[in-house]
Amino acid sequence: MAGEGSGGARQGLVVLLGVQRGDGPTQVTTIARKIAELRILDDERSALDVHAPILVISQFTLYGDTRKGRRPSWTHAAPGDEAEPLVDAVVADLRGRGLHVETGQFGAMMEVSLVNDGPFTVLVEA
């Protein structure tokens, strides 16, 4: 999401969005607000402040539990039919706040490259 704009370097966010079993409308609203308003960009500004583009990628593997055995367990991740409408709702909420949001195809194999601006990754939970 980085590139040169007419005003200099352009900032944006890559959001790896995991949905847990039991998540619903409350989590959608909370997480969308946090993504939009979190002051993590230059000069402690938010995506909403600078109209930063956002790439939302559904990522059930975020809830892989590796505490037991040698294989991750996905029991905490919501199944696709439960997760997809919630991912769509987060995207719609962000767009409703006036943000430009791109997405991948839900459930598809994707190859994503990103460049972090410094060693900065943050876990945001609702």
Q: Which positions are annotated as active-site residues?
A: 59-61
From residue 102, alpha-carbon distances to 25, 55, 69 in Å are 21, 5, 36
d(CA 66, CA 109): 22
User: Sheet of 13-17: strands edge to edge?
Assistant: 13-17, 54-58, 101-103
Q: Position 19: which residue type?
A: V
